[in-house]
Chains A and B, each alone.
Chain A
Amino acid sequence: MELYVHIPFCIKKCNYCDFLSMPADDTVKKQYLQALKNEIVFYAESLPEKLETIYFGGGTPSVLMAEQLTELLDLIRSKFDVCPNAEITIEINPATIDYKGLHKLRKAGFNRLSIGLQSVQNDKLMLLGRIHTYEQFLQTYSDARRAGFQNINIDCMSALPEQSLEEYIEGLHNVIKLNPEHISSYSLILEENTPFYEKYANHKELLPDEETDRAMYHETKRILQAAGYYRYEISNYAKAGFESKHNSGYWERVPYLGVGLGASSFIGGCRTKNICDLKQYISLWSLTKIGLHNLMISSFVQDVSLSAIENDSNEALYQQYDEIEQLSKEDAMAEYFFLGLRMTRGVSIQQFETQFGCSVFECFSQELQELEKEKLILVNRKQERIALTEFGMDVSNWVFEKFI
């Protein structure tokens, strides 16, 4: 099992961001941390699975003090059975943590960093509503190396407003020079209810056109490949052996537990999403409600499956979720493809059959034939794998839809 820990705080919300995060004062952060710890303890007792990866995401986890983060990780390590070689990632943003802090995190056991850079150009950073400059990023990056992090991801964005292909490529080269183990590059998505959406949804002319967007994408692959990074997922590149294990788990449908505000879990074939209201979350998991917890623990079946939730006497269990979805076999088969095909190595034909008891060529015979004919997928019968072609990557939604 994987563990995701959500820290819904940041210094200031970025203009494009639709993640569940918000600025908060110290009191709220403390209350949240206490609730989070209670949730962790609760699950450690009711779901005693071995953890292969741990991921602190946000928001900006590094807005918490290194001591607070260390405490959290210590708690997890003490309550869960964590694999000795577990990948333990934390997302940080430049200018929110210094060398000392990074050093503490490294010592606490975090062994992978994901740093949000987004752009090497300060005017673009400003436009995005980032709180840091490129120079501050460079400082954070070198601090991280000095603190002993040997597995670092740098997050970049492409197709930004008024960004030219040349600018983007130049930025990419700068990032390569830093020699990180992992690079993510996302083409900008206009998410609803963000300042960017307001600004650009009706002014697409201010954004790079589709041709430029694709050119950036294809150049990213070409340039990074030449520099020793291979693309293992639509937007993720790594040096061999440095692929994110945690994120790969999402695409391979490995069970994961998400703790914290609005965190999603995938356990026992059931997808759940925690409540998103901070006050409710804190009150639900506050110490004064210990009684509730006991009730929940006593009635908790080994996994968070619907059978447990559907039982009326377990009303209390409902309160912690905004969404509960028990996947049908069809849902699971669709997921197998639309998640698995995100990875360049694609999906295993054999594994599908083992998991679902039928051959992909029976379940999706027409779809696969069409997609193969349209050169959107490649069926490698020898290696027992199905993967997207280069064009298939560009229009992957078109492909995924067929499996829904």
Chain B
Amino acid sequence: MQHIDQSKIRNFCIVAHIDHGKSTLADRIIEKTGLLTSREMQEQVLDNMDLERERGITIKAQTVRIVYKAKDGEEYIFNLIDTPGHVDFNYEVSRALAACDGAILVVDAAQGIEAQTLANVYLALDHDLDVFPVINKIDLPSAEPQRVKDEIEDVIGIEAQDAPMISAKNGIGIEEVLEQVVQKIPAPKGNPDAPLSALIFDSLYDSYKGVIIFCRLVDGRVKKGTRIRMMATGASADVVEVGYFGAGQFIPCDELSAGMVGYITASIKNVRDTAVGDTVTDADNPCTEPLPGYKKVNSMVYCGMYPADGAKYPDLRDALEKLQLNDASLNYEPETSIALGFGFRCGFLGLLHLEIIQERLEREYNLDLVTTAPGVIYKVYKTNGEVIELTNPSNLPDPSEIDYMEEPIVTAEIMVTTEFIGSIMELCQERRGVYLGMDYMEETRALLKYDLPLNEIIYDFFDALKSRSRGYASFDYELKGYVRSELVKLDILINREEVDALSFIVHKDSAYDRGRRMCEKLKDEIPRHLFEIPIQAAVGGKVIARETVKAMRKDVLAKCYGGDITRKKKLLEKQKEGKKRMRQVGNVEIPQSAFMSVLKLDDKK
């Protein structure tokens, strides 16, 4: 068996602000190392989910092993772990980082440091990674590489003067990046003869192989037949196959040893047995301590997901189960709604995560979904001393039983050019933000710090931020904790019947405004019926806003002669088909789009 010298291994990742060219650089590195020819390169090799490629973002961590022949004449094995860039996927970033020994920091030569640059680089430094910067997009007319280098040194405090100046898109300067990987990223220093300890940083469910564990071996070895045990979950299994990652494929090998990044399959049927962050060890010769860093991921945003067609409930359950196999940060539990029937209350890392799961359910599993307004976890302190973690507004106890409530607060960092500071501060104010301070990064840019209630930013904060800064603001946040807040449950009544799926929790000062906008929106969404339909927003039984869908007075085709019959029938069929897909509440048919439309209440621009 070929022995692999740890000193010739480099395990690293690339961190960057979104759109700074992380995935493109990854593509170029794979291309340059000769694993694929230029012609075979599909754009963004690592982003292999359709959704990722369409949105130009990386959702799941991806890994590829490549061989690089360096200028010193030696061949090096690079394990490149591509990490997600969005704030929702911090845990995915963190577990990917934990598998690395170093990181390349990509910074856009024109935009300089952005909010996520900082967040990601600090995360990397927290994991004791050696970070070296790369200035990308130097061929842009607006590129200011020297300014950006100075900024990196000033703001982050890492050496940047010899940073490779590259254009990942046009393949300029990639060679230099590869050389610096060899020089600046440390080789792993595990002990292959110590008991096995491997960090699980991702996993994938394959219907033939079962769970495929993505791991970084810190110490020891693993090969076919090894009996492994997950230290946190206690599950054990016999290894069927080990291997490493080709571009878009799994390449089996005889053995993985300390310092290597690769995969293990062991006919494991349940991904819950292989929690990300857990340590794999040899069941017969276990290590004494698990690797640090395991944490159970907590969902921050919840919403109800219901199949549009009630009969598809089991399909939705299966699909969620399968998605959860690959996404430990997705939570779900069954719930029932009077309006929407059987569905699931699902927990997500953030709104983008929610949207991605929703799209994957619709695309990959062909499900038609109705999603309720997303909310956060509120803490309800009852007068009897009990504390409830509320994820579904419908479960809010009667006001008389509530002592007080708390809502989650995040600390947000918003990077913005100075001309937009005013409008962004105004936005934060409207969203009940508490100003913490402002740092000038340079003359024209500032970093604003705010405490913001999470429930104010999960709706459309990001959109509002972009529109009020002409796309220039960037932002990042982390959970700070819970604070006491004056919260109320806003109910929507349609034709005097409460629609549970439309209820949500809101700060009492925003209740009127939100209620009014919801009624307006619903008025446009609910088709006219033979009778008048009042749409009311109410807090604690008191109506605070009302709109009316007028009764239908006319629904008639004036003409229907010999040549019209087929066409008119199709029209009627279409109309009927449309109604079939509606939800009945009382005697009112509510289109599914109505439940979704309230997710996007336009902010005043």
| Residues of chain A having any CB pair with chain B under 8 Å | 4, 186-189, 210-211, 213-214, 234-235, 247, 250-251, 256, 258, 262-264, 266, 271, 273, 323, 325, 331, 334-335, 338-339, 342, 374, 376, 393-398, 400-401, 404
B residues near A (Cβ < 8 Å) are 530, 552-563, 565-566, 568-569, 571-573, 575-576, 579
- 13 new A-B contacts, CB < 8 A, other than A235-B559, A397-B575, are A189-B557, A189-B559, A213-B553, A234-B560, A235-B558, A247-B561, A250-B560, A266-B562, A273-B566, A331-B569, A374-B530, A397-B571, A398-B555
20 residue pairs of the A-B complex, CB under 8 angstroms, read A4-B563, A188-B558, A189-B558, A210-B554, A213-B553, A234-B558, A235-B559, A264-B563, A271-B566, A273-B566, A339-B565, A342-B560, A394-B553, A394-B556, A395-B530, A396-B556, A398-B530, A401-B576, A404-B573, A404-B576
| Given A401-B575, A404-B576, CB of A4 within 8 Å of CB of B555 | no
Chain B residue with the shortest CB-CB distance to A4? B562
Which of A211, A234, A264 is B566 in contact with, Cβ under 8 Å?
A: A264
B572 engages A395 (CB within 8 Å): no
Quick check: A186 and B575 within 8 Å, CB to CB? no
Task: Give every chain A residue within 8 A of B576 (Cβ-Cβ).
Answer: 401, 404
Give Cα A246–Cα B543 distance, bound, in whole angstroms.
57
Contact B557 A397 (CB under 8 A): yes
> Which A residues are in CB contact (< 8 Å) with B563?
4, 258, 262-264, 273
Residue of B nearest to A334 (CB): B569
Cross-chain pair count, CB within 8 angstroms? 90
Q: Quick check: B558 and A397 within 8 Å, CB to CB?
A: no
A401 touches B557 (CB 8 A): no
Which residues of B have CB within 8 Å of A187? 556, 558
CB distance from B561 to the nearest CB of A (A): 6
Chain B: which residue is nearest A271 at the CB level?
B566
A214 to B552, CA, bound (A): 11
**B554, B556, B572, B576 pick with most chain A CB within 10 angstroms:** B556
- List the B side residues contacting A400 at CB < 8 Å: 572
Interface pair B572/A271, CB less than 8 Å apart: no
Report how far A65 CA is from B553 CA in the complex, Å: 44
Of the candidates A4, A263, A398, the one having the most CB atoms from chain B within 10 angstroms of its own CB is A398
CA distance A134 to B555 in the complex (A): 31
A335 with B569: CB separation less than 8 A: yes
Min CB distance, A14 to chain B, in Å?
14
Decide yes or no: A213 and B554 within 8 Å by CB, A338-B569, A404-B576 being known contacts. Answer: yes
**A211 CB, nearest partner CB in chain B, Å:** 7
Which residues of chain B are near A335, meaning CB under 8 Å? 565, 569
Docked CA distance A397–B575 (Å): 9
Contact A404 B554 (CB under 8 A): no
Chain B residues, CB < 8 A from A398 = 530, 552, 555
* Alpha-carbon gap, A262 to B566, bound state (A): 13
The reply to whether A186 and B559 contact each other, CB–CB distance below 8 Å, is yes
Contact B558 A186 (CB under 8 A): yes
For the complex of A and B, the 3 pairs showing the least CB-CB separation, nearest first, are A186-B558, A397-B555, A395-B555
- Residues in B whose Cβ lies below 8 Å from that of A251: 560
Hey, which chain B residues are within 8 Å of A331, CB to CB?
569
A108 to chain B, nearest CB (A): 23
Chain A residue numbers with a CB within 8 Å of B575 are 397, 401
A271:B558 contact, CB within 8 angstroms: no
Chain A residues contacting B572 (CB-CB under 8 Å) are 338, 397, 400-401, 404
Q: Looking across the interface, which residue of chain A has its beta carbon closest to that of B557? A: A397
Q: How far is the CA of A188 from the CA of B562 in the complex (A)?
A: 19
Q: A132 → chain B, closest Cβ, in Å?
A: 21
**Once bound together, how far apart are the Cα atoms of A396 and B560, in whole Å?**
12
Which A residues are in CB contact (< 8 Å) with B558?
186-189, 234-235
Residues of B near A334 (CB, < 8 A) are 569
User: Which chain A residues lie closer than 8 Å to B571 at the CB level?
Assistant: 397
What is the bound-complex CA distance between A186 and B564, given in angstroms?
A: 15
B566 to chain A: closest residue by CB: A271
| Closest-CB distance, B30 to chain A (whole angstroms) | 51
**How many Å lie between the Cα of A323 and that of B560 in the bound state?**
18
Give min CB distance, B355 to chain A, whole Å: 31
- The minimal Cβ–Cβ distance linking B590 to chain A, given in whole angstroms, is 17
Closest to B571 in A: A397
Residue numbers in A under 8 Å from B555 (CB-CB): 394-398
- Chain B's closest residue to A188 (CB) is B558
Note all chain B residues with C-beta closer than 8 A to A376: 530
Bound: A374/B559 CA distance, A: 24
Given contacts A187-B558, A234-B558, A394-B555, contact A404 B565 (CB under 8 A): no
Give Cα A255 to B224, complex, Å: 76
The answer for the CA separation of A338 and B565 in the assembled complex, in Å, is 9
Give every chain B residue within 8 A of A394 (Cβ-Cβ). Answer: 553-556
What chain B residues lie within 8 Å of A188 (beta carbons)? 558
**Least Cβ–Cβ distance between A291 and chain B, in angstroms:** 30
Residues of B within 8 A of A263 (CB): 563
A342 to B572 Cα, complex, angstroms = 14
CB distance from A143 to the nearest CB of B (A): 26
| A290 vs B568: C-alpha distance when bound (angstroms) | 36
Q: Contact at B565–A271, with CB atoms within 8 Å?
A: yes
Residue on A with the closest CB to B573?
A: A404
**C-alpha gap A234/B552 in the complex (Å):** 18
When the two chains form their complex, are residues A258 and B562 in contact, meaning their CB atoms are under 8 A apart? yes
Is B562 touching A256 in the complex (CB atoms < 8 A)?
yes
Residues in B neighbouring A214, C-beta threshold 8 A: 553-554
- Which residues does chain B contribute within 8 Å of A401, judged by CB atoms? 572, 575-576, 579
Q: Chain A contacts of B561 at CB under 8 A?
A: 247, 250
Cα(A212)–Cα(B2), bound, Å: 89
Contact A210 B556 (CB under 8 A): no
Q: How far is the CA of A235 from the CA of B554 in the complex (A)?
A: 14
Q: A4-B562, A235-B559 are in contact. Are A395 and B573 (CB under 8 A)?
A: no
**A366 CA to B566 CA, complexed, in Å:** 25
Chain B residues with Cβ under 8 A from A397's Cβ? Answer: 555-557, 571-572, 575
CB distance from B575 to the nearest CB of A (A): 6
A338 to B559, CA, bound (A): 12
In the bound assembly, the distance between CA atoms of A393 and B558 in angstroms comes to: 10
For residue B579, which residues in chain A have a CB less than 8 angstroms away from its CB? 401
Smallest beta-carbon distance A224→chain B, Å: 15
Inside 8 A of B566's CB, which chain A residues have their CB?
Answer: 264, 271, 273, 323, 325
Q: Is the CB of B565 within 8 A of A395?
A: no
Residues of B within 8 A of A262 (CB): 563
The CA of A189 and the CA of B561, in the complex, are separated in Å by: 14
Chain B contacts of A266 at CB under 8 A?
Answer: 562, 565
Do A395 and B562 form a contact, CB below 8 Å, given A401-B572, A401-B576? no
* Minimal beta-carbon separation of A156 from chain B (angstroms): 11
Q: How far is the CB of B207 from chain A (nearest CB, A)?
A: 40
Determine if B553 and A210 form an interchain contact, defined as CB atoms under 8 angstroms apart.
yes
Q: How far in angstroms is the closest Cβ of chain B from A47?
A: 16
What's the Cα separation between A234 and B561 when bound, in Å? 12
A263-B572 Cα distance, complex, nearest whole Å: 21
Instruction: Report the separation of the CA atoms of residues A338 and B570 in the bound assembly, to the nearest whole angstrom.
Output: 12
In chain A, what residue has the closest Cβ to B531? A374
Nearest chain B CB to A234 CB, angstrom units: 6
CA distance A397 to B571 in the complex (A): 9
Residue of A nearest to B563 (CB): A264
- Which residue on B lies nearest to A273, using beta carbons? B566
Tell me which residues across on chain A come within 8 A of B565, comparing CB atoms. 250, 264, 266, 271, 335, 339
Q: Which chain B residue shows the least CB distance to A235? A: B558
In the assembled complex, the CB of B120 is this many whole angstroms from the nearest CB of chain A, namely 47
Closest to B577 in A: A404
Contact of A395 among B552, B559, B568 (CB under 8 A): B552
Q: Which of A4, A339, A374, A393 contacts B560 (CB 8 A)?
A: A339
- The residue in chain B whose Cβ has the minimal distance to the Cβ of A403 is B572
| Complex CA distance for A210 and B555, rounded to whole angstroms | 10
Q: For residue B568, which residues in chain A have a CB less than 8 angstroms away from its CB?
A: 338
In angstroms, Cα B554 to Cα A334, docked, is 21
A71 to chain B, nearest CB (A): 23
A187 CB to nearest B CB, Å: 5
Question: Which B residues are CB-close (under 8 A) to A393?
Answer: 556
Q: Tell me the complex Cα distance, A213–B553, Å.
A: 9
